[in-house]
Each structure stands twice: as C-alpha cells, then as structure tokens.
Amino acid sequence: MVSPDRLLTFAAFAFVIIVIPGPSVLFTISRALTYGRRTAVITVVGNTSGVYVQALLVAIGLGALVEQSILVFTALKLAGAAYLVYLGITAFRQRYKLRDAMDATVGAPEGISALRTIRDGFVVGFANPKAIVFFGAILPQFVNRQAGYVPVQMALLALIFSSIALVSDSAWGFVAGTARDWFAKSPRRLELVGGAGGLAMIGLGTALAFSGRKD
C-alpha cells in the first residue's frame, strides 16, 4: 500500500492545490451568497462526491479516455458549463424571492432541498473534465506499484484529496454565507447579493465553456 511518507507528501501537495481558490470554491461562494451557509456546505458535499467519483474512474482506467480524447473532454466540459449557466440563471431569476423565502434558521430559500443541492454540486463536480486530467496526471506519481493494488492506492489518495477539499471548501462557503447574513438585514442588499451569486455562476459556466486544451 501507499507508505506513510507518500501519504503525507500527497496530503501536503493536495492542501496547497485546494486552498488556492478555483472553480469549486467560486461555485461554493456563489451558492453561499445566493442561498446561505447551509446550502453552500451541502453543495460542497455533492461537489466533492462528484470529484471523488471522477478519481475512482481514473483509478480503474477510464480517466485516460478523457485525457486522450478531445471530443470526450469537450463534450463533458460543455455539459458542465451549461449546467452551471442554468443554475446561475435560476438563481438570478429567484433573487426577488429571497427575502420572502429566506428562513433565518435554515439559511436557504424554500424549495432548495438537501437532495437537490447535493445533486447540483455532484453534477458540477463530476462534469469538470480538468479534474479527471488532474487526477490522471497526479495520482499515479504517488502510488507504490511494487506493492500492488494500484487502484486501491489511488482511491485512498483521492479520498484524502476529497476530505481536504471538503473541509477547505466548506470553510469558504461558511465565511461567504456569514457575509450574506449581513446583506440579508436589508431586503435590497439581499436581492443584490442573490443576483450577484447567480451572475457569478453564469460567468463561471461561460468561462469553463471557453477554456480549452492546448491540443
């Protein structure tokens, strides 16, 4: 199996990569500003689950298909981008309902169930082809091939990565959701921040759609 020193090295590497705000953090912050802390944290659970499933696919070899095929990469990228834009448009259209629908205890508008929130986060996390390419390039460098059970080792490394991401991204969502509470004290500010969260998701989806591979 993976030696303790390799696990620690990978954990340190993963921490550096994760704490730098990327698409997952921006998506979490957008959800926090639109719906609050609870929805943001649940979104992180779904998002990291989607990313972990990607890592499992890499572990069993399917990640190579995305890495080698620009067609598959582009299709998955556009699907994820379209879903992000859809979520952003939905959030932007609901901004006027936020002040009436907000529950100060729950912190999210009515109709945004935990199951739906997890689903949204999972789809966004799973539909990010760059994560598959990342895992395909990084995970094999930390496994001990002589020890065997390489897919199991990669799954363990991915679990460490996802666990760190879960804590880090949740912290971002909590902080952003706390800032939203201040905006919620003013109906006008709440509408503005809800609209800003929706626009941020639309912008993130658009940026993902136009990002490309050098090949």
Which of 134, 201, 143, 203 shows the shortest CA–CA distance to 162? Answer: 134
209: left (phi over 0), alpha (psi -120 to 50) or beta: alpha
C-beta separation of 125 from 47 below 8 A: yes
Q: Mind listing the pLDDT tens digit of every residue in the chain (215 residues)? A: 677 888 888 898 888 777 766 777 778 888 887 788 889 999 999 999 999 998 888 888 765 665 566 776 677 677 767 877 877 787 677 655 555 544 433 444 444 788 989 998 998 888 877 677 778 777 777 777 777 777 888 889 999 999 999 999 999 888 888 877 766 555 565 566 666 767 776 887 787 677 655 45
Residue with tokens 């943001």: 40
Neighbour count for residue 107 (Cβ, 10 Å): 20
Which of 207, 208, 211, 205 shows the shortest CA–CA distance to 84? Answer: 205
DSSP state of 110: T
Cα angle for residues 115, 121, 123 (degrees, 5° grid): 100
Extract the tokens encoding 79. Answer: 């699907």
Which of 139, 137, 130 shows the shortest CA–CA distance to 73? Answer: 130
Q: Please report the pLDDT score of residue 64 as a whole number.
A: 60
CA 69 to chain centre: 23
CA 78 to chain centre: 16
Residue with tokens 């704490």: 19
DSSP state of 111: T
Q: Does pTM top 0.95 for this prediction?
A: no
